[in-house]
Amino acid sequence: MSGTGLKRAFNRCINYLLAPGICLACGCELENADSLCASCQEHIRLVPSPCACCAQPSPIAGRVCPACLLNPPRWQKMIAPLQYRGLVRDYLLQLKFSEALYLSRTLCEQCMKPFGRSLPRPEVLLPVPLHRDRLLERGYNQALEIALVWSRGLGIPVDRRALTRPRATLSQSGLSAAQRGRNVARAFAYSPRRRYRHVAVVDDIVTTGSTISEITRVLHRAGVEYVEVWALARVYRR
Ligand SMILES: [Zn+2]
Ligand SMILES: [Zn+2]
């Protein structure tokens, strides 16, 4: 085992040992095996009356928002229940930049309901892929880890090799919406285990949606009819 591998295994072990007795967010002691204390739980907020298309708040509950009516996104449906702020934001930032997978499990379990209620269910979950270099550098793909939790909870298989990212791209953070679109153009390839008609693409956070939009374009071209986007959190439009 390499030095990094060993360090990672050690960290996992520590996380496992610590997780049942303390709050993962504030570190206070917990009597039961819950991973968040009651006051931290309160900071995890759901997006109020989300639009079924873009997962941002819709002025009319249960209806597609005016922005999506005017300019419909490529995908057919989006579920991203958590507000990307406060504790959720801190969590997800840790998830991107460190070995904090136990946090993603906690968040995934916290917000399973909206995915469970959404019918009909997709046939398969497709995690947004990382480029090979990024995967080697980070050691895990957070989108895959999230997909695995929802897969277990909802009984939907994951096809982890259907989507690949053969072209390395710049990090999307700090780029404008137009630059993000150009950055991910033709970055993805799709070769599924079998032909799917209804899929859910899984990611941690949806920001402008340019990555998801490019993936959806590739999926539609390959004959996928219905593309859902499943994410933990949604960044609100400004
Ligand atoms: Zn706490
Ligand atoms: Zn919308």
Domain boundaries, the chain: 1-42, 44-234
Radius of gyration for the alpha carbons in the chain, expressed in angstroms and rounded = 18
CA distance 133 to 61: 43
Query: What pTM does this model have?
Result: 0.84
Which ligand neighbours the alpha carbon of 24 most closely? 1
pLDDT of residue 99: 55
pLDDT of residue 1: 47
pLDDT of residue 236: 76
- CA 93 to ligand 1 centroid distance, Å: 17
User: What residues are neighbours of ligand 2 (ion), with CB under 5 Å?
Assistant: 51, 53-54, 65, 68
pLDDT of residue 9: 58
**pLDDT 10s per residue in the chain (238 long)?**
455 656 665 555 555 555 557 777 777 887 766 677 888 888 888 888 999 999 999 998 888 999 999 999 999 999 999 988 877 787 777 766 655 666 777 788 878 889 999 999 999 999 999 999 989 988 889 899 899 999 999 999 999 999 999 988 888 778 888 888 888 888 899 999 899 999 999 999 898 899 999 999 999 999 999 999 999 998 876 4
Which ligand neighbours the alpha carbon of 91 most closely? 1
- CA 55 to ligand 1 centroid distance, Å: 27
Amino acid making up residue 34: D
pLDDT of residue 81: 93
pLDDT of residue 152: 93
pLDDT of residue 168: 84
CATH topology of domain 44-234: Rossmann fold (3.40.50)
- CA 106 to ligand 1 centroid distance, Å: 13
Where do runs of H (alpha helix) occur along the chain?
3-18, 38-42, 66-70, 86-97, 101-110, 113-117, 132-138, 142-154, 177-184, 210-221
Which ligand neighbours the alpha carbon of 47 most closely? 2
Which ligand neighbours the alpha carbon of 209 most closely? 2
Q: SS in 3 state form for 20-76?
A: CCECCCCCCECCCCCCCCHHHHHCCCECCCECCCCCCECCCCCCCCHHHHHCCCCCC
For the four alpha carbons of 90, 95, 99 and 105, in that order, the dihedral sign comes to positive
- CA 159 to ligand 2 centroid distance, Å: 28
- CA 41 to ligand 1 centroid distance, Å: 7
- CA 151 to ligand 2 centroid distance, Å: 26
Which ligand neighbours the alpha carbon of 206 most closely? 2
- Identify the three-state secondary structure at position 124: strand
- CA 82 to ligand 2 centroid distance, Å: 15
- CA 63 to ligand 2 centroid distance, Å: 9
